[in-house]
Structure 1
Amino acid sequence: MKGKKRNLEFYYLFFLSITAIAAIIYSVFWADQAVDYKALIQENISGVTSIEKIIGTKPAYKVEAAGGCYYAVCDSAMGYQSKVETMSIIDEKGMVEKVLVTKQGETPDFFERLYKQDYFNSFNGLSVKEPIYLGGASGYSGYLAGNQTTNYIDRISGSTVSSHAVAEAVNGGNLYLSRQIFNTAWTNPYDVFQLTWKELAMIVMYLIALAGVYVKKLVRIRIWVLLVSIGVLGLLINQFATANLLFSLIHLQIPGITNIKWYVLIAGSLGFIIFLGKNLYCAWICPFGAAQEFLNKVAGFKPLGISQPVIKKLKLVPSTILWVALILGTCLGNYGTLDYQPFGALFLLKATWVIWLMLPVFLFMSL
C-alpha cells in the first residue's frame, strides 16, 4: 500500500513537471506576440504620412507627419521580474515628445504607480543629446547624484526598480538615435558598473550561509543571520527570491551586469540548489521565512503532531501552487499578474487586497 502511495506521488510530480516544461516551451517559443510598432506610431503621432525604418540594430523609425519630422526608437531593460520595453518618440530637434511602454511583465500593482503618478510624461521635453538621469535612486546606475543638469526625472517611490528599468530603456534608445541621427555621442550612465553596500551586504550574507554548510559551528549564528536578513534584505534592500524571478530566468530575461542584486539572488537561491543540492536561501537568507520563524518562537506554540502521511501530502502543496502559477501565467501571457507572494505586503506595506487577505495565512502557517 505504501509503495502504491509513493507511486501516485511520483506520477503526480511527474505530471506537474512534464506539463510545466511544456508550458515553458510554449511561452518561450510561441506565446510571445510581436508588437506592431508602426501601428503604435500612427496611434501616437497625428497626421502620419510615411514611416521609414532606420536600418540598424534597434527598432527605429523616421516618421513624416503633418506636424513635422519625428523619430521613434525602442529599447528594453530588466525590471523587477521582466524586461520592460519602451518606445521613445523624438521630434526633429532631439527632444522627447512621448514615452510609451510596448512590453512589460512587472507586478501590476507596482507598475500601475508609474501611470498613476504621471511618470512617463516627465520625460516629455527632455533631450536625447545627453543622458536622462534618475533622481532619488541612490545605489542604482544612472543615479542623478551630484550631476548638474536639468535632464533628469525622479523615480516613483515604492516602484524604484520599475522606474529605473523604464529610464534605462529610454536612455538606451535615446543614445542610439543620438548617434544615428543627431551625430552626438555620450556615455550611458546606466551601463556603468556599481558595487554599493547593498550588493556587498547580500554577498556577505550568502557567503556566511555557504560557510555554514562546511563549518558546523556556524549553525549557531543562523538565527542572527536571519534577524539581519529581515532588516537588510527585507526592510532596506527589498530583494527576495520569488517564483517570478525564476520565470524571468527561464525566459532569458537577464539584466545587464550592472544589476548585481539579480545575479546574487539567482546564484544564492537556484545556484546553491543546483550545485550544492541545498536550499540555503530558505534556511539562512529568506527574510519572510525568518519572520515566520521568529513569530513561531515568540508564539511558543507546540508542534501540532501531524502524521507523516499528511506531512508528505502537504509537501506537495508548494509544487502544486508553483505549477498553477506557471500554467495560469502561460495562459494569461503575463507572469506578473500572478504575483501572489506576500513579501511586498510584509516589507513594503504595499499589495493588492487579495495579498493582504492571504498574508496572515502565510504568516501563521509556521505556528
Structure 2
Amino acid sequence: MKGKKRNLEFYYLFFLSITAIAAIIYSVFWADQAVDYKALIQENISGVTSIEKIIGTKPAYKVEAAGGCYYAVCDSAMGYQSKVETMSIIDEKGMVEKVLVTKQGETPDFFERLYKQDYFNSFNGLSVKEPIYLGGASGYSGYLAGNQTTNYIDRISGSTVSSHAVAEAVNGGNLYLSRQIFNTAWTNPYDVFQLTWKELAMIVMYLIALAGVYVKKLVRIRIWVLLVSIGVLGLLINQFATANLLFSLIHLQIPGITNIKWYVLIAGSLGFIIFLGKNLYCAWICPFGAAQEFLNKVAGFKPLGISQPVIKKLKLVPSTILWVALILGTCLGNYGTLDYQPFGALFLLKATWVIWLMLPVFLFMSLFFNRFYCQFFCPVGFIYNLINRWRNKGVRTWKQIWNRWKNKKEEG
C-alpha cells in the first residue's frame, strides 16, 4: 500500500521547521556571545590600571583606577519577556556609582522608557550595605511599602515589570558584594515569597479552566470566564503568554520562585498541554482571544464564506510570520522581533506603529470570523497547538507500542 502523498504545503512546513531549528540551535550555542565585562568596565571607569576577577559564583571584579578602588558585579532577573542582566559599579565606600544593562530582550517600547526617564541614574549614590527598594510597585517583590529608608528608587509607570527586573538584578549583585567585600549581610526583599490578589486571581482562573475539563457543564459559563479574563489578565494584571517568553525558555531564562505570575502563566499553560493534552490557555484564558470571541458573539454577524482551500492556505500564515521573526531575530541578535502581538496595544495602549495599524483590522475581522487573529496570526497559539499535537501523537504511539508488547507477552 502506498504511503500518503505529501503535498507542497508539507515540504514548505518542513523547510520552515528545519531552518527554524537551525536558527534556534545557532542562537543558543553561538549567537549569544558572552559579554566582555572587562571592556565594559574600562569604558565606564576612567583611568583603569588593573581589573582582577573576584573568585565566586557571580561575575564580579575589583578595579584599580586613577580615581581609587572600585568593584563591579553582574546579576540578572526575569523581566516582561526576557532576562535582564545588569552590571553595578560600586566605589570603595560601598556606594553605587553606575548601573549598566549588559543583556536584555525586552519589548523596546517598554524598556526605552527606563532610559528616557533616567531610571538608571536613580541608583547612583545608593548603598550596597542595605536593600534598594522599589517605590510605587505594590504587589512586586522589593516593594518599598512602609520601610523607613532613603535607599530606594521609584518604578517607571508603564514599565513596572522592567523596572522591577532591573532593581531585582541590581539587588542580587549588591547583596553578593555586600557579603564578599563589605562584610555586611541583609535579607533580600526580592527573594521574599509573596502571594497577592493578582497571583490568586490568575490561579483561580487556571483552576476554573482545569475544572472545565472534568465538569462539562462549566462550558456554558466559558464566555463569562473569558470576559473576566479581559478585565483581570488583560486590563488589571497585564499578563499574556508571548512568543518571546516561550523562546526565553529555550535559553533557560527561568525566573526565581518569587515570580509566581510567570509560573502560573507559562508553566500552567504548558502543564495543561503536557499532562492533559489540551490547550486550555487559548480556549479559556487568553485575554486577546477572549476579546475577539466576545466581539464576535455581541456582533452576531454572519460568518464570512471563506472556502476550505483558502482557510488551509491562511493556516500557513502563523508559522510563516513566526519563522520570519525568528530568522530576523537570529540575524540581528535581537529577539524583540518576536514581539509582534497586539496585546500591548489593546490592553496597555503601547505598541509599534505596525501593530497599531493591524489591531483594528484584527478586531474588525473578528466580528465576522471568530478569533481571526488566533487562527491566522497568533504565534503562541501556533506553538501551543503544535506542542499539543506532538504530545497527543506521542501518547497515542506509546499506547500502541505498549498494547502490542502487552498482547505479545500474553500470547507468549
Say whether residues 1:234 and 2:203 are aligned partners: no
- Residues 79, 116 of structure 1: alpha-carbon distance in 2 compared, 3 angstrom cutoff: same
| Partner Cα separation in structure 2 for residue 19 and residue 215 of structure 1 | 42
> How do residues 342-353 of structure 1 correspond to structure 2 at under 5 angstroms?
342-353=342-353
Q: 1:272 offset after TM fit, Å? A: 1.8
| Partner Cα separation in structure 1 for residue 267 and residue 96 of structure 2 | 38
Contact 2:244–2:335 (8 Å) recurs in 1: yes
Q: Deviations over 1:214-243 (max 9, x none)?
A: 211000110100010000000000000111
Q: Deviations over 1:41-98 (max 9, x none)?
A: 1111111111111111111111111111111111111111111110101111100000
Contact 1:268–1:280 (8 Å) recurs in 2: no
Tell me the residue number matched to 1:2.
2
Tell me which moved more, 37-46 or 233-242: 37-46
Tell me which moved more, 99-108 or 337-346: 337-346
Q: Give TM-score, length-normalised by structure 1.
A: 0.96
Q: Secondary structure at the match of 1:144?
A: coil
- Residues 5, 329 of structure 1: alpha-carbon distance in 2 compared, 3 angstrom cutoff: farther
Q: Secondary structure at the match of 2:3?
A: helix
Contact 2:73–2:173 (8 Å) recurs in 1: yes
- Residues 11, 337 of structure 1: alpha-carbon distance in 2 compared, 3 angstrom cutoff: closer
Contact 1:81–1:336 (8 Å) recurs in 2: no
Contact 1:98–1:124 (8 Å) recurs in 2: yes
Tell me the residue number matched to 2:50.
50
Percent identical pairs in the alignment equals 100
Q: Deviations over 1:296-338 (max 9, x none)?
A: 2232220112112222222222122222222221112121243
Paired positions, count: 366
| Partner Cα separation in structure 1 for residue 140 and residue 164 of structure 2 | 8
- Residues 260, 58 of structure 1: alpha-carbon distance in 2 compared, 3 angstrom cutoff: same
Contact 1:292–1:364 (8 Å) recurs in 2: no
> How do residues 35-74 of structure 1 correspond to structure 2 at under 5 angstroms?
35-74=35-74
- Residues 351, 2 of structure 1: alpha-carbon distance in 2 compared, 3 angstrom cutoff: farther
Contact 2:325–2:337 (8 Å) recurs in 1: no
Q: Secondary structure at the match of 2:19?
A: helix
Say whether residues 1:284 and 2:257 are aligned partners: no
Contact 1:108–1:337 (8 Å) recurs in 2: no
Q: Secondary structure at the match of 1:5?
A: coil
Structure number with larger C-alpha Rg = 2
- Residues 275, 321 of structure 1: alpha-carbon distance in 2 compared, 3 angstrom cutoff: farther
Contact 2:48–2:66 (8 Å) recurs in 1: yes
Which 5+ residue runs of structure 1 have no aligned equivalent? none
| Partner Cα separation in structure 1 for residue 63 and residue 151 of structure 2 | 24
| Partner Cα separation in structure 1 for residue 319 and residue 3 of structure 2 | 21
Q: 1:195 offset after TM fit, Å? A: 1.1
Which 5+ residue runs of structure 2 have no aligned equivalent? 367-412
RMSD over equivalenced CA pairs, Å: 1.8
Q: Give TM-score, length-normalised by structure 2.
A: 0.86
- Residues 328, 270 of structure 1: alpha-carbon distance in 2 compared, 3 angstrom cutoff: farther
